């Protein structure tokens, strides 16, 4: 085998390979034997016909493709081992010469996992904020629970702050109806303008069957880009007004919320949960700061496009899932296409926007991998098994997800996941 290795930009190695006729011959024989099992030759059972007769029946193109596949797969592994390469993904293949009775010439472009020169990760110092929950925070949470338990009572009075209104809503910009801005039987609690700024305040003193028209200048940073910075006209018909009868916050209220004897127990549980949530957020913040400092202090070889492309695709899939899962929360089936129209971008625009963050995520993964190897931080078989059981419980009833978890690739993923978590924990212990 003639082999010429050339280093290309972005941490890609180009391997130019030539196999002489004698080296190609064993792969021709293997390919012919494999094809003989599926080719029908008159007078012979499948797989029993002489190979010279089989050769006359098969497509030369299919025969050459199979020869190349078998030869390249085997030689690729030889090249990786001989040159001590660490591929980051599949190689890009270009067959330059192939014909029966001739040498096989091909070129492989192999993206490599970038090497990392770690900064000083032993003496990182990150300040951990002291976590506490104020009594006012607990009181606010109690009010939210009280609101959730409120009873809606149809009212003939004019709407007041805190009441609920059921309305038909039409939105316009420059007298043109907004796409998706015609909503029927929409419920809004007065005082909460989560989705439509200006709506709630204009419904104060409205009564059943009232029709109101007004406008609101939307802020320039509004999440819906097609409305941001625009004058939005509202046309509203009030269909019903409800007063919210709030329960008294007492021991009976606490008992209705779960296994609590009194209001003191409920408040203690709320405080405990809020503390856990704040601690989790602080831990996440620390992780981000640690990894950002490590990236800043480390040196990376160029990152191959394949790694960035893969991370960008993951980020796009995550965004799609988040957008579409928001549908039920806003009372509509959110579609990713509608989201793209709203922000006036294409998928390709988003992919370009994602590149800096994708590079950060790839560098983070490379850092964790390097520290794992240097410090010999690995996941034990028992840890992998325990994590697998947790994930199986989480995805119970989802056959495809369970099948993926139990596959060889699934177990490799879990092993990496556990090892990464151990590295992060080890780093946090070093920095505090």
R_g over Cα of the chain: 32
* Domain shared by 427 and 282, yes or no: yes
**pLDDT at residue 192, rounded to an integer:** 79
In a domain, 107, yes or no: yes
In a domain, 117, yes or no: no
**pLDDT at residue 326, rounded to an integer:** 65
Residues in CB range of 264: below 8 A, 6 or more apart: none
Domain boundary among 112, 137, 168: 112
Q: Are 94 and 107 in contact (CB under 8 A)?
A: yes
Q: What's the average model confidence in pLDDT over 239-265?
A: 94
Q: Are 309 and 10 in contact (CB under 8 A)?
A: no
Residues 174-230: pLDDT tens digits?
989 988 789 999 999 998 777 788 899 999 999 999 999 999 999 888 777 778 889
Provide the domain limits for residue 208: 151-245
Q: What is the CATH number of the domain that holds 382?
A: 1.10.3120.10
Q: What's the average model confidence in pLDDT over 411-423?
A: 92
Residues 118-128: pLDDT tens digits?
998 888 888 88
Q: What's the average model confidence in pLDDT over 243-268?
A: 94
The closest alpha carbon to 214, from 232, 229, 196, belongs to 232
Angle at 325 between CA 322 and CA 330, to 5 degrees: 110
* Domains of the chain: total: 3
Edge-to-edge strand ranges of the sheet holding 2-8: 2-8, 12-19, 104-111, 92-97
* Domain shared by 100 and 15, yes or no: yes
Q: Are 116 and 300 in contact (CB under 8 A)?
A: yes
Residues 289-313: pLDDT tens digits?
999 999 999 999 999 999 999 999 9
Residues 323-355: pLDDT tens digits?
877 654 443 445 788 888 777 789 999 999 999
**pLDDT at residue 329, rounded to an integer:** 42
% of the chain at pLDDT higher than 70: 93
What span, in angstroms and rounded, lies between the C-alpha atoms of 352 and 237? 43
DSSP 8-state symbol, 91: P
In a domain, 363, yes or no: yes
* Domain shared by 287 and 235, yes or no: no
* Domain shared by 335 and 411, yes or no: yes
Domain boundary among 112, 127, 161: 112
Residues in CB range of 158: below 8 A, 6 or more apart: 205, 206, 207, 241
SS3 letters for 342-394? HHCCCHHHHHHHHHHHHHHHHHHHHHHHHHHHHCCCCCCHHHHHHHHHHHHHH
* Domain shared by 189 and 324, yes or no: no
Instruction: Please say if the pLDDT value at position 392 is more than 80.
Output: yes
Would the pTM of this model clear 0.75, i.e. be above it? no
């Amino acid at each position: 085998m003639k082999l010429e290795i050339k280093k290309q930009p972005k941490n890609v190695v180009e391997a130019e390979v030539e196999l002489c006729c004698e080296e190609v011959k064993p792969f021709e024989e293997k390919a012919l034997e494999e094809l003989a099992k599926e080719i029908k030759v008159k007078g012979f059972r499948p797989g029993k016909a002489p190979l010279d007769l089989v050769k006359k029946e098969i497509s030369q193109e299919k025969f050459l493709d199979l020869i190349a596949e078998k030869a390249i797969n085997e030689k690729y592994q030889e090249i990786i081992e001989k040159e001590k390469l660490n591929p980051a993904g599949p190689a890009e293949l270009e067959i330059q010469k192939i014909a029966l009775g001739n040498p096989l010439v091909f070129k492989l472009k192999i993206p490599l996992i970038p090497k990392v020169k770690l900064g000083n990760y032993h003496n990182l110092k990150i300040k951990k904020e002291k976590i506490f929950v104020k009594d006012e925070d607990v009181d606010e949470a109690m009010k939210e629970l009280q609101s959730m338990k409120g009873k809606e009572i149809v009212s003939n009075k004019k709407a007041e702050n805190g009441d609920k209104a059921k309305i038909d809503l039409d939105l316009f910009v420059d007298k043109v109806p907004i796409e998706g801005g015609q909503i029927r039987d929409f419920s809004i609690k007065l005082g909460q303008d989560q989705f439509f700024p200006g709506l709630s305040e204009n419904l104060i003193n409205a009564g059943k069957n009232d029709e109101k028209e007004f406008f609101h200048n939307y802020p320039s940073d509004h999440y819906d880009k097609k409305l941001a910075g625009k004058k939005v006209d509202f046309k509203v018909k009030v269909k019903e007004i409800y007063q919210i009868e709030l329960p008294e916050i007492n021991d009976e209220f606490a008992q209705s919320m779960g296994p609590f004897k009194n209001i003191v127990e409920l408040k203690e549980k709320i405080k405990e949960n809020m503390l856990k949530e704040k601690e989790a957020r602080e831990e996440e913040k620390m992780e981000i700061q640690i990894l950002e400092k490590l990236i800043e202090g480390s040196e990376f070889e160029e990152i191959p496009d394949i790694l960035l492309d893969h991370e960008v695709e993951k980020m796009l899939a995550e965004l799609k899932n988040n957008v579409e899962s928001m549908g039920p929360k806003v009372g509509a089936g959110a579609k990713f296409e509608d989201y793209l129209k709203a922000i006036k971008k294409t998928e390709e625009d988003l992919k370009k926007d994602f590149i800096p963050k994708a590079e950060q995520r790839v560098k983070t993964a490379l850092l964790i991998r390097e520290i794992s190897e240097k410090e010999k931080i690995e996941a034990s078989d028992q840890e992998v098994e325990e994590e697998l059981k947790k994930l199986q419980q989480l995805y119970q009833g989802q056959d495809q997800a369970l099948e993926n978890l139990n596959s060889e690739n699934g177990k490799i993923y879990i092993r990496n996941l556990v090892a990464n978590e151990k590295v992060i924990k080890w780093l946090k212990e070093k920095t505090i």
